[in-house]
Structure 1
Amino acid sequence: MAKKENNNSSNGANHVSSPVEELLLAALERNDNTFETGRYLATFKEGVGEDGTQSLATQGMRVADARDFSDQAAILENIGDADAVVFPEIGVALLSGNAAQERNMSTFAEIASDSPILSIDPEYFVFADNTYAEFLQSGTAQTDQSASSEFLRGFLQATETITKEMRGNGHSQSEIEEEVQVLGATWGVRACRVPASIRSGMGIKVAVLDTGFDLGHPDFLGRPVVGATFVGQPVQDLHSHGTHCIGTACGPRTPAGTTPRYGIGFRSSIFVGKVLSNSGSSVGGSVLAGMNWAIANRCQVISMSLGGPGGPHPAYTAAGQAALTNGCLIIAAAGNNGPGPTGAPANSPTIMSVASLDSNLQPSSFSARGKIDIAAPGRDIFSSVPRPVRYGNKNGTSMATPHVAGCAALWAETSPNMRGRALWQRLQATARRLPFPASQVGAGLVQAP
């Protein structure tokens, strides 16, 4: 069924600088189930980014550029009254809803063959992978408008609740600190053959685009960390999803006390891109801004445990290709809506998608199927979470993804030529083969060098 065009002229909440919460409120007022924000993404044809930017200005748009910000860390809330913001590394522009519609540049507009613009598509809301899957598995995502509204409404209340829990004494059962009695390594790290590797990720930049990071976590003191936010909130993680993913990809080799080794690239440089808010919600523009930043900083490994509807989306595909062209590799969670199909952005052909395995090395029941490139441990994964809890277990393809990212950092350390597409191919070529279809596990279980 064709999607209706969004018309937000009455609420004025589709500006480039509109915060996530304002866009969520506007979506509730529209009362539809498209998960569209009301803004648009213009993807330029490869190699014509400057012409694409000029074409927007020619049509009278006030255009901001990520290069106007230090290290291209473009904070959308600081864009001001711009009608569009361009992410030059990936060749994508985020357009204000009203400005785009006034110039007939919305979803169903015809694009001239000689235009530098490849496509114009709606911007969608994006969520921490586990959260979005919970809604999809409710069976109401495509059929019940009220359920869609309630889902969005929940995110407006979540930030305050999460903040209180993390600052107080209440914590969810899944994040209660575990009593670890013996030294060693987690089952996931062992399954990936990490302890036997002589590699540490030294000299490799690993960007984790998620809910941020607990910058004061004692296991990471003294580590080089570069942080940037793309959702108008401090990088400090008040959700825990991001800290858990960073722990797996980049955590220490020998945590204090009897805590087992849970991290892989223990000497890699950590780049924290906060593209999801403390409620675990975001929008495509913020995620793309984070991808643009990570590529601009030439992070050889970019890990993304998040998802949204539809796809493959041209903007994500362009970002994935830009990463490969610049010696970077984007690795993304396939999704927890199994046996449903791989979600966005992992379903883009230029982004490596990761499925989840249980400790018996069988596909997790929740793991998405279809476009799967590789698999990794994703159930009962022990890693870091924000203080005061410090450690906890989580499940999901979100947890599998940083296992691949960490191993990718170790492989990238082996040679300066092990970058981009070559790194992707090496990860697949060295994966442990499993007796399951490629649509469930891809090339198999990721292995460290």
Structure 2
Amino acid sequence: MGASAERGAEYTGRYVVLLDQADPERGLNALRSTAGVAAVERVRGAEPESAAEMLARPGTSVLFDELAVAVVDAQPDQRHALVTTAEAEPTIIAAEPERVVYATVITEARQAVTGFFPAYRSDERELQRFTQTQVASQLGPSWDETTTTWGLQAIRANLSGQTGRGVKVAVLDTGVDTDHPDLTRSLEETASFVLGQTVEDGKGHGTHCIGTVAGPARPAQGPRYGVATEARVLAGKVLDNTGTGTDGQILAGIAWAVSHGARVISMSFGAPVDPGELFPQTYEQVAQRALQKGTLMVAAAGNESHRPGFVAAVDRPANCPSILAVAAVDRAMATAWFSCGAINGQGGEIDIAAPGVDVISAVPNGGLGIKSGTSMATPHVAGTAALIAQAHPEASATDLGNRLRSAASPLSQGADEVGAGLLQAP
């Protein structure tokens, strides 16, 4: 999707209901008795095909056992009763309208910045900030991408001793080109949560993100563009071939990824929020439950800004405190003109920034392409998390997030734009 500050909230008419993990059935029974919720199907993490079919079935509510969260289909005249029941029943933690979400990629062209202003780490691993003049005098006016993309150079992934070997990273997106010569070896498992569509990527967005996470050290053509070249990818299609999906499809993908042992979930999509709007309790609690199971969730901050004149709030679900929100920077280490910022309070913060302008990666039909967006920044972070997980296999999911932030290289912008700073590989 292109930048669209005018894009409003869109709803499906269903509700996302977060249940007490100790007794989810009690909450469902309360909804059955007072809100007319009839058929409830249970889905376990390893059942993607059935999840897609159930979510599309009218009048059917779906419970994802892995996370004790349900997508509830209630008749219009029963929705008030559903909300009232949720407020009164202690085993129902939250109930929120299901939203439509979009892939976050920029299609509107802006003049590219050719200079660059990177922050480097010295041999003593101390953080340093260089002036643009100093950097230009040492390295020239532009990045040389003959062998490695500018993004990998900026985060020092090309200098890392880690490859992410064996670490599972789930990329929930528009699917993947399963025949792409650069990606076939990295694909551990695939699943589609979109009814009537295979995991094959009809949009190109998911393939590009997966390439950034785990493209090979020596691709078939062009420079190296993958951060964690030996990571294992779980490719979950939660957005259709137009780049559109629902909370239910995303939650199905999250449950699947967690149940399959993903250490990181990369989510390059979002839905816009208004100034002052609170983060969604359902996603926040799901993210906390994922952390407890060893999975870190990373999400794109969103592309609705038109800097410098207008800064939009961080999209949901990235605005949740327990989900790492990723901003985008350009080749000059300036905040990308489209990147959303921390204009809301608790939960609307930016955690870290990564390369998100003119990013080279894989595209369907075996080729390479250039895309921009916080979508492109996010898989840089997910891939780097895999490098850290390989280096520190004992680290908890919370530790992975803390290590990402603490290793970031300071930038001149405020935390409201770039969080802890520029992502740096171990």
Return the TM-score normalized by structure 1.
0.77
1:140-159 matched pairs, under 5 angstroms: none
Aligned to 1:329: 296
Deviation at 1:400, TM superposition (A): 0.3
Aligned to 2:105: 130
Looking at structure 2, the residues matched to 182 and 399 of structure 1 have their Cα atoms a distance apart, in angstroms, of 17
1:227-258 CA deviation, whole Å, 9 max, x = no partner? Answer: 1111111000010000000000111111124x
Aligned to 1:24: none
Selected match of 2:73 from 76, 88, 96: 96
| 8 Å contact from structure 2 (residues 181, 220) kept in 1 | no
Selected match of 1:40 from 2, 10, 15: 15
| 8 Å contact from structure 1 (residues 308, 344) kept in 2 | yes
2:353 is the counterpart of 1:381: no
Aligned to 1:152: none
1:66-104 CA deviation, whole Å, 9 max, x = no partner? Answer: 12x735665232465663111122221101131x74374
Change in 2 beyond 3 A, CA 1:103/1:255: closer
Looking at structure 1, the residues matched to 87 and 419 of structure 2 have their Cα atoms a distance apart, in angstroms, of 38
| 8 Å contact from structure 2 (residues 46, 259) kept in 1 | no
Which residue identity is paired with 1:381?
Answer: V
2:385 is the counterpart of 1:421: no
Looking at structure 2, the residues matched to 44 and 192 of structure 1 have their Cα atoms a distance apart, in angstroms, of 40
Aligned to 1:301: 264
Which residue identity is paired with 2:333?
Answer: L
Which residue identity is paired with 2:243?
Answer: G
1:283-302 matched pairs, under 5 angstroms: 283-302=246-265
Selected match of 1:193 from 144, 150, 156: 156
Let me know the Cα RMSD of the aligned residues. Answer: 2.4
Looking at structure 2, the residues matched to 265 and 50 of structure 1 have their Cα atoms a distance apart, in angstroms, of 41
Looking at structure 2, the residues matched to 309 and 446 of structure 1 have their Cα atoms a distance apart, in angstroms, of 24
| 8 Å contact from structure 2 (residues 272, 313) kept in 1 | no
| 8 Å contact from structure 1 (residues 239, 280) kept in 2 | yes
Looking at structure 2, the residues matched to 182 and 93 of structure 1 have their Cα atoms a distance apart, in angstroms, of 46
Looking at structure 2, the residues matched to 34 and 246 of structure 1 have their Cα atoms a distance apart, in angstroms, of 28
Deviation at 1:114, TM superposition (A): 4.5
Looking at structure 2, the residues matched to 260 and 197 of structure 1 have their Cα atoms a distance apart, in angstroms, of 17
Q: Percent same amino acid among aligned pairs?
A: 40
Looking at structure 1, the residues matched to 177 and 257 of structure 2 have their Cα atoms a distance apart, in angstroms, of 19
Looking at structure 1, the residues matched to 271 and 8 of structure 2 have their Cα atoms a distance apart, in angstroms, of 13
Selected match of 1:345 from 301, 309, 317: 317
SS of structure 2 residue aligned to 1:238 = coil
| 8 Å contact from structure 1 (residues 433, 443) kept in 2 | yes
1:163-201 CA deviation, whole Å, 9 max, x = no partner? Answer: xxxxxxxxxxxxxxxxxx974100000111011111111
Q: Which runs of 5+ in 1 are unaligned?
A: 1-31, 135-180
Looking at structure 2, the residues matched to 416 and 49 of structure 1 have their Cα atoms a distance apart, in angstroms, of 32
Looking at structure 1, the residues matched to 199 and 340 of structure 2 have their Cα atoms a distance apart, in angstroms, of 29
Looking at structure 2, the residues matched to 268 and 361 of structure 1 have their Cα atoms a distance apart, in angstroms, of 27
SS of structure 2 residue aligned to 1:228 = strand
Looking at structure 1, the residues matched to 38 and 353 of structure 2 have their Cα atoms a distance apart, in angstroms, of 44
Aligned to 2:207: 243
2:24 is the counterpart of 1:49: yes
| 8 Å contact from structure 1 (residues 377, 399) kept in 2 | yes
Change in 2 beyond 3 A, CA 1:182/1:400: closer
- Size of the alignment, in residue pairs? 367
Change in 2 beyond 3 A, CA 1:101/1:48: farther
Which residue identity is paired with 2:190?
Answer: G
SS of structure 2 residue aligned to 1:218 = coil
SS of structure 2 residue aligned to 1:375 = strand
SS of structure 1 residue aligned to 2:158 = coil
| 8 Å contact from structure 2 (residues 14, 98) kept in 1 | yes
Deviation at 1:337, TM superposition (A): 1.2
Looking at structure 2, the residues matched to 293 and 275 of structure 1 have their Cα atoms a distance apart, in angstroms, of 11
Aligned to 2:137: none
Looking at structure 2, the residues matched to 274 and 379 of structure 1 have their Cα atoms a distance apart, in angstroms, of 24
1:161-200 matched pairs, under 5 angstroms: 183-200=146-163
Deviation at 1:298, TM superposition (A): 2.0
| 8 Å contact from structure 2 (residues 170, 235) kept in 1 | yes
| 8 Å contact from structure 1 (residues 66, 73) kept in 2 | no
Which residue identity is paired with 2:318?
Answer: A
2:336 is the counterpart of 1:364: yes
Looking at structure 2, the residues matched to 415 and 431 of structure 1 have their Cα atoms a distance apart, in angstroms, of 17
Looking at structure 2, the residues matched to 40 and 111 of structure 1 have their Cα atoms a distance apart, in angstroms, of 11
Which residue identity is paired with 1:374?
Answer: I
Deviation at 1:33, TM superposition (A): 6.2
2:179 is the counterpart of 1:216: yes
2:236 is the counterpart of 1:273: yes
Q: Which runs of 5+ in 2 are unaligned?
A: 1-6, 109-143, 306-310, 343-348
| 8 Å contact from structure 2 (residues 215, 227) kept in 1 | yes
Deviation at 1:286, TM superposition (A): 0.7
Which residue identity is paired with 2:379?
Answer: P
Deviation at 1:282, TM superposition (A): 1.0
